[in-house]
Structure 1
Amino acid sequence: MRLIPLDLDRDLAMLHGWVTHPRSVYWMLQGATVEQVRAEYQGIVDNPHHHAWIGLDDDGTPLFLAETYDPAHSELAPHYDVRPGDIGMHVLVAPPTRKRSGLTSAVMRAVMDFCFADSRVDRVVVEPDVTNEAIARKNAEVGFVVVKDVPLHGKTGRLSFCTRAAYEMSVPHLRPETIAYAHRRLIAKAIAEFSHERLIAPVSLGEDRYRFGDHTFTARRFALEHWVVDADSIEGPLDALDVIAGLRETLGIPEKLLGTYLEEISATLAGTAWKLTHRRETADELVHADFPTIEAAMTEGHPGFVANNGRIGFGLRDHEAFAPEAGQPVRLRWVAVLKTKSIFVYDGDERDHYEDELGPGGLAHFEQQLRGRGLDPEEYRYLPVHPWQWEHKVTVTFAADVASRAIVPLDESTDRYRAQQSIRTFFNVDRPDRHYVKTAIAVQNMGFLRGLSPKYMQATPPINEWVARLVAGDEELRACGFGVLRELASAGYTGDAYHRIGVPSAYTKMLAALWRESPVPQLAAGERLATMASLLHRDRDGNALVTALIRESGVSAAEWVASYFRAYLRPVVHCILRHDLAFMPHGENLILVLENHVPRRVFMKDIGEEVAVMNDQPLPPEVERIRVDVTDELKELAIFTDVFDGFLRHLAGILAVDGVLPEREFWALAGDCVREHAKDHPDLAGRLDLLRPTFAHSCLNRLQLRNTLQMVDLTDQASSLIFAGELENPIAVFG
């Protein structure tokens, strides 16, 4: 948001509508004519100590009115000792034309940022009407402290101050009620998932009531030993950190990593509290929302991991600027790196790639910046960098390389991006047809430091091309509408000391990027996108998005789920049976294509790091990395663990709890999907036994608890798995 001076010739009609609106009663201009409003604000325009501003959204839409004034020249002057550096402020948010989550809070911060942008300002002063409780709450959010009530013209004002330091340290989401909400939900999830992984065993008290430790709660149990714990029913101490610490031996957390895991738990609590405070979209609203809005509205991380929102390394302002739930537009930083000290892989011309992403003018601008430093553009290539990574890592960890001009800082992108659920991947909101950009970022999240290895990524575009050709050439996959979003290009810097010593580490994964296809150009009329993770989303009132989608679609729940299975489950099963090809098909890795609110097809992404070929078929040398040698039982886990246990058990639980579809019918439909595929492809009979009565119970939290810094070896993931007995196969049980 930005503020521009009020222009009465331009803004009067709009201003009159704002200040006379019934919601603007505290502005004391109810019933004023247009000329009376002009006279009121002409007085402000003519006053050298009082200024009026129009606040604009990032697309230029007028959103609010702000006034700033010198308290020494106002009616406040007799009521307190005015200091040099004080500035008075009023703000009025425009009457809403649509519901918009967190708008008033965002406006308040924009006005405060504007006030403190003047280095001479030390303190903001406000005097709202004592009966205006709504603005009092917003003032408290940003750090205002009430001093006293004072008599003013037409009202009793509540004199309040906010210093620069108080504003910078304000944490509106960290309040007793929000953190209690977060504790409840995290304890509920810990009980559910640790019980699912057989780490703990709550005791039944009868009638869906259970006890574990100091807590009693209500829960329902479903297939795959899936627990749905009612967070609001929990009785006992509400401290998730104490719960985890008290279970450290039961959970098997190494002593040296306990602090790290608790930090991820604490960050997850803070993230939940932040989302509760700032994200207010309802499930009904998200039914009609666009793709970026749905991504930003997600209140949960990975459905299975208890510590799923760590982001160790992000501070509060980083979270507000770069977290997907913040929904803020981000302009990526760009650097030039010497070609002799970097890699670039693309099945095409390198310059064409940059022109497509930057536009001819953008590329020419970067080349001119290099020439202006006396450098030859022919010797360099270009790399997008996460702003956090530039500030915290590149300028420090690669200081010598920047100083030697092996890495050259350039301008930020002209296009604006928004972070996706994976934190380091960005969607272009100005040009949605352009590629996603995946950047390295040295933030610890959910068991991994989120870096990118330039050398590892050299094979990523060829792997993606190979997978895309296989998928496009398969008649069954085409019939299902199954597609992959190719990672078409990769680039990375390798000229640093960390690469020269020849030892792979976190430091060799700090300066690299990938470009992935956007799904937007591949949409037909009437289609829209949603992350598959959204099917597990509940809003702050507990309403499920999937339930709202089914209701709005006008089709039965069984029809909706069957369509979803055909779009998602059938092609994933086919890839395993026909090609021994496994993906990592969890919610964040799939993008649904919806038509009339019903899933019709899907896009798979994150191919380079997640795909595996599990046979001895001939592969191009550059694709050989994805081959793994595993037993048939482990191949089957690509469906049983990654699809059934990793995602569908959560979806089945939501639909059952909401009374939308009984779990027996849900799993019967899943079984029908698998059996129909077998009937249509008799030549694949016997390849794998997806109808076996039980399968090995592979546990995700156990991986993270064992080593929260690196859950698995990405070069040998199968050997990292941890099992806890077997689970009953729900498509056999309900078959």
Structure 2
Amino acid sequence: MTTELITESRTDVKLTAASATVSIRALDVDRDAARIHEWLTHPRAHYWMMTELDEAEIRAYLEGIRDSADDAGWVGSVDGDDCFYVETYTPDSLIPQNVLATGPGDIGMHLLVAPPAGPAVHGLTDRIMAEVIDFCLKPVDQGGRGAECVVVEPDARNDAIIEKNRAAGFTPITEATIMMGEIEKRALVSVCTRADFEASALTPFVAEAGESDSVQGPTGPRPGRKSATPPAPYAHLNSDAFAVVQRHLVAKALSEFAHERLIHPVSVGASEGAGANGHAHAGGGAASANEEDQTWELSIDGASRYSFTARVLPLEHWVIDEASITRWRDGSEIPLDAQELVVELQDALSIPEDLISTYLEELASTLAGAAFKLEDARAGRRPDAQTLVDADFQTTEAAMTEGHPGFLANNGRIGFGLSDFRTWAPENGELNRIEWVAVRRELSHLSLGSGLDEEGHLGEALSEAERDLFGSRIRAAGQDPADFHLMPIHPWQADHRLAITFAADIARGDLLPLGEGLDKHQAQQSLRTFFNHSRTGAPYVKVALAVQNMGFLRGLSPKYMRDTPAINDWVADLIASDDTFTAAGFRVLRERAALGYTGDVYHRTKETNPHRKMLAALWRENPVEKIAPGQRLITMAALLHRDHQGVSLASELINASGLSAAAWVRSYLRAYLKPLVHALLAHDLVFMPHGENLILVLDEHTVTGAFMKDIGEEVAVLGHRELPADVERIRAVVSGEEKALSVFTDMFDGVLRHLSGILDTDGLLPVDRFWAIVAESLDDYEAEHPESARGVSGDVDLHAEHFAHSCLNRLQLKNTKQMVDIGNQAESLLYAGTMPNPVAG
């Protein structure tokens, strides 16, 4: 069942909507069954899924509603004529709590307006909708239902009612599969409070709206909730929110800059209460580690001084107590400011003068985004860590706040305006339609994976309705659809680049803008990759986006993508043919198709340029249908997530699993570390295994498998093994020490360093025990595969005493516009000496 608006009018309603009298009374089955049967069996009521029922079956259904403790039926009239039916219900009787956390102040609502029988009365449906919402929210002593929030779950395909709901103030929370009796429905769960409704377009239709002093439940705002009330555009940029996010970013700057040895805080003694949490170094870790709280100071050119409490864990991981940080100048304490800290440290950080303003702008964007997310969370519009324990894949995806854990400026997005951020930022979780452009076939190249032909690709990439729609638009432009490929394009890119940067190509007819598609998509953490919500199992689509973010303009190279499906097939075949990967539950998500346009003038310049990477797309497999019933998915970045109250999702998952923290970590390492170590040692194959590039499989809140993604651009073969010609470009022959960095830098330093600090701080697993378990995992692998223990060439030592300390922030600080040369990443890296190996010996 769903909120369903059938029509705009009834012929026997003679007056205008504004002047009509609307009333709502309790359902009387004897009186109303015959008429409601007529309404429910009308073809336009098909979303109620009752069109085949006879009157006796409808009567039985209505009697069930009348007698239910969770449901109630209501019949509405306009000027005395019965013309709509309402059901109210207890939301958790239909919507699982892991989809939407509801409470006693919430009420579910379905609405059916009678089918038309003549000329429309303008605005009548809006008037009825408004009266019904007001009825749900109005206090009981005023004749209403006394709800604080109305919940609806229309069929996700029902665009008409979804738009009506938006007009009434409803905000979509998530798409979810819910059961209507024995029938499964894909629904768009949405909510509306009194404040949302009063700010909506339908408020004028209510003659006398009820007043409400609060839109919160009895215990405050509930997680997983979004308010439809549009906040003032700059409301999040307030001093209170900024004090919090500035402190967090300053703490991160001090931690990561000290980790990369760009700054050198000095210990001034043990902090008061040091060791009270039992943090005692037990050997086996880095020699420089000091796992007891110390007070540290950093003086900058005699002008500023920072003081803070911190512990230094293995891998020189600084765990700073954010609340302890103070900043002093001329004997007075002054506010913390991450941008000012960077300016103070410009010489120490070696930031070029011509690039520092760009870096500062990326920091400003990072701070603004953090403030927005903080205010959203404080208002109860973002799920907390406890809620995420059982949340669906895309809810968790949208809940992430931190980005890459090691980078300071990790949410730059230079090019996005405020409205772009609200629409396209992954953490807002909005469902949007992406745009499409037809690209002339002879000036573009479509690469397809093994076993996939063009017709099969189009069947996966577009719905049948979209193919028909775009075909008709191409023909309307006087062109033959057979002469074009269909390319998705980010709407921001279409708005900012297509009609300007490629104006000549459109004028020639080589590019035909086609407008929005029909499927709804959600941006993923990687910003330019989209998840399809309209068709289950449809592939991800990744597009170019000319936004400056984290050291790169986020383009997509047509040249690189010509070989992408072939590279993905080769890697996938290798993984599938090796039982070690299968036993670890390790799989790859293949990029099955890639399309790039090269007919523009930018491809005729002597040297490559960013403009060559603005019109391209690829399609990647979707993991949703590759997991077993009962399993869940999260990106690995979620393991490093703390909510706005500082609660760790990883810790919540461990607590929910019923396992010890040690057992939980072992299971995770079997799915993450072991297969990636095997890829290196047995096959000379390395990936880019950071948090956003792995999708973890959870069984009972425990990691039992993983999907590796982003294969085409970020996989490499580091040895001399034979490769097919169209895979050869991924070869990068390096020394054994450099090979080992794919474990030491990408996994130990990039991921496990942060996770070990979280679990140690939360008191779940001491850091020395964490790294002992990592060492045990490597020992187990070497015992199982003695022939691979030192790699294909026998020169890889994962137990070396030290390894080269590769530094990510140093790369971004050196050139915030292009951190590395994608074609020669190894030569671009920057090092800060060596790092003690926490699993040495």
How far did residue 544 of structure 1 move?
A: 0.4
Alignment of 1:320-359 (within 5 A): 320-347=422-449, 348-359=452-463
Residue number among 196, 213, 229 corresponding to 1:108 in the alignment:
229
- Given that 1:63 and 1:93 are in contact with CA atoms closer than 8 Å, whether structure 2 keeps it comes out as no
Q: Distance in 2 between matches of 1:90 and 1:500?
A: 64
Aligned match of 1:120: none
CA distance in 2, matches of 1:36, 1:292: 32
* Structure 1 segment 655-674 matched on structure 2, within 5 A: 655-674=759-778
Match status 1:505 vs 2:633? no
Q: Give the SS at the match of 2:246.
A: helix
Moved more, 430-439 or 60-69: 60-69
Residues in 2 aligned to 1:513 and 1:266: alpha-carbon distance in whole angstroms: 30
Aligned-partner residue type, residue 354 of structure 2: K
Q: Is the aligned partner of 1:572 residue 2:676?
A: yes
TM-score, normalising length from structure 2? 0.73
Give the letter for the 1:690 counterpart: L
Q: Assess, with a 3 A threshold, how the Cα gap between structure 1 residues 579 and 189 changes in structure 2: closer, same or farther.
A: same
Per-residue deviation, 1:511: 0.6
Match for residue 267 of structure 1 among 365, 383, 386: 365
Specify the SS of the correspondent of 2:436.
strand
**Structure-2 change in CA distance of 1:25 and 1:500 (3 Å):** same
SS in 2 for 1:716: helix
Residue matched to 2:297? 211
1:240 is aligned, of 338, 341, 346, to 338
Distance change >3 Å, CA 54–CA 94, structure 1 → 2: farther
- Of stretches 635-644 and 230-239 in structure 1, the one that deviates more from structure 2 is 230-239
- SS of aligned partner of 1:311: coil
Amino acid paired to 1:397: T
How many residues were matched structurally? 649
Distance 1:98 1:612, change over 3 A: farther
* Residue in structure 2 matching 1:63, options 191, 199, 204: 191
CA distance in 1, matches of 2:425, 2:651: 27
1:283 paired to 2:385: yes
- Assess, with a 3 A threshold, how the Cα gap between structure 1 residues 466 and 100 changes in structure 2: closer, same or farther: farther
Report the residue type matching 2:362 in the other structure. Answer: E
Q: Would you say the 8 A contact 2:389–2:653 is kept in 1?
A: yes
Q: Distance in 2 between matches of 1:704 and 1:539?
A: 26
Are the structure 2 counterparts of residues 513 and 554 from structure 1 closer, same or farther at C-alpha, using a change threshold of 3 Å?
same
1:146 aligned partner: none
Contact 1:439–1:513, Cα closer than 8 Å, also in 2:
yes
One-letter code of the match for 1:193?
Answer: E
Q: Which residue of 1 aligns with 2:260?
A: 197
- Of 166, 169, 175, which aligns to 2:238? 175
Q: Does 2:426 match 1:426?
A: no
Aligned to 2:839: 731
Aligned mate of 2:319, from 228, 233, 240: 228
1:536 partner letter? L
Structure 1 stretch displaced more, 512-521 or 356-365: 356-365
- In the other structure, the counterpart of 2:693 is 589
Aligned counterparts of 1:274 and 1:468: Cα–Cα separation in 2? 40
Flag the 1:16–1:534 CA change in 2: closer, same or farther, 3 A: closer
Does the 8 A contact of 2:135 with 2:145 survive in 1?
no
Residues 102 and 278, structure 1, Cα contact 8 Å, conserved in 2: no
Q: Out of 616, 635, 640, which is 1:536 matched to?
A: 640
Q: Distance between the aligned counterparts of 1:31 and 1:580, measured in 2?
A: 73
User: How do residues 8-47 of structure 1 correspond to structure 2 at under 5 angstroms?
Assistant: 9=76, 10=84, 14=88, 29-33=139-143
Letter in 2 for 1:564: Y
Structure 1 residue 29, shift from structure 2 partner: 3.5
CA-based RMSD: 3.2
Take 1:73 and 1:411, find their aligned partners in 2: how far apart are those partners? 34
Pick closer, same or farther for the CA change 1:295–1:100 going to 2, 3 Å.
Answer: farther
Contact 1:549 1:598 in 2 (8 A): yes
1:57 Cα offset (Å): 4.7
Q: State the 1:249 CA deviation.
A: 0.5
Distance 1:542 1:433, change over 3 A: same
Q: CA deviation at 1:99?
A: 7.2
Query: 5+ residue gaps in structure 2?
Result: 9-16, 25-75, 77-83, 92-101, 108-133, 148-165, 173-186, 271-293, 300-304, 328-334
Q: For 1:314-350, what per-residue CA distance to the aligned partner results, in whole angstroms no more than 9, with x for missing partners?
A: 0010000000001101211011110011111013321
1:623-662 counterparts in 2 under 5 A?
623-662=727-766
CA deviation after TM superposition for structure 1 residue 429, in Å: 1.8
CA apart distance, 1:501: 2.4
The farther-off stretch of 316-325 and 209-218 is 209-218
SS state of the match for residue 442, structure 1?
coil
Higher share in helix:
1
Are the aligned partners of 2:137 and 2:146 in contact in 1 as well (CA < 8 Å)? no
Matched, 1:479 2:606: no
> Hey, what's the Cα distance between the residues in 1 that align with 2:799 and 2:782?
11
In the alignment, structure 1 residue 374 sits paired with structure 2 residue 478: yes
What is the SS of the residue equivalent to 1:576? Answer: helix
- Counterpart contact for 1:13–1:34, Cα < 8 Å: no
Aligned AA (1:349) = D
- Deviations, residues 465-509 of structure 1 (Å, cap 9, x unaligned): 110001111111111111000011000111111112243111000
What does residue 495 of structure 1 align with?
A: 599
Name 1:697's counterpart in structure 2. Answer: 805
Q: Is the 8 A contact 1:3 1:53 kept in 2?
A: no
Q: Distance in 2 between matches of 1:398 and 1:187?
A: 41
Whether the 8 Å CA contact 2:685–2:717 is kept in 1: the answer is: yes
* CA distance in 2: counterparts of 1:373 and 1:445, whole angstroms: 36
Q: Find the aligned partners of 1:36 and 1:100 in 2 and give their Cα distance.
A: 18
Whether 1:468 aligns to 2:554 is: no
* 1:253 aligns with one of 337, 341, 351: 351
Distance 1:588 1:218 in 2: 30
CA distance in structure 2 between the aligned counterparts of 1:69 and 1:352, rounded to whole angstroms = 44
Counterpart of 1:108, as a letter, is T
Give the Cα–Cα distance (whole angstroms) in 1 for the partners of residues 464 and 145 of structure 2: 50
Higher deviation after alignment, 501-510 or 4-13 = 4-13
Q: Does structure 2 conserve the Cα–Cα contact (< 8 Å) formed by 1:69 and 1:88? A: no
CA contact (8 A) 1:69 1:89 kept: no
Within a 5 Å distance, the mapping from 1:143-158 to structure 2 comes to none
Question: 2:202, 2:813 → 1: CA distance?
Answer: 56
| Structure 2 letter corresponding to 1:471 | I
- For the 8 Å contact 1:694–1:727, the answer to whether it is kept is yes
Instruction: Assess if the C-alpha contact under 8 Å between 1:324 and 1:423 holds in 2.
Output: yes
Cα offset, 1:74, TM superposition: 12
Q: What pairs with 1:403-482 in structure 2 (closer than 5 Å)?
A: 403-482=507-586
Identity of aligned residues (%): 49
Report how far residue 243 of structure 1 moved.
Answer: 0.3
* Cα shift at 1:622: 0.8
Q: Distance in 2 between matches of 1:456 and 1:69?
A: 48
Secondary structure of the corresponding residue to residue 538 of structure 2: coil
Asked if the contact 2:717/2:730 (under 8 Å) is kept, the reply is yes
- Offset at 1:364? 2.1
**2-structure distance, mates of 1:603, 1:61:** 28
Structure 1 residue 70 displacement after superposition: 12
Instruction: Give distance in 2, aligned partners of 1:696 and 1:285.
Output: 40
What is the Cα deviation at residue 210 of structure 1? 1.1
Equivalent residue letter for 2:141: G
Is residue 2:829 matched to residue 1:721? yes
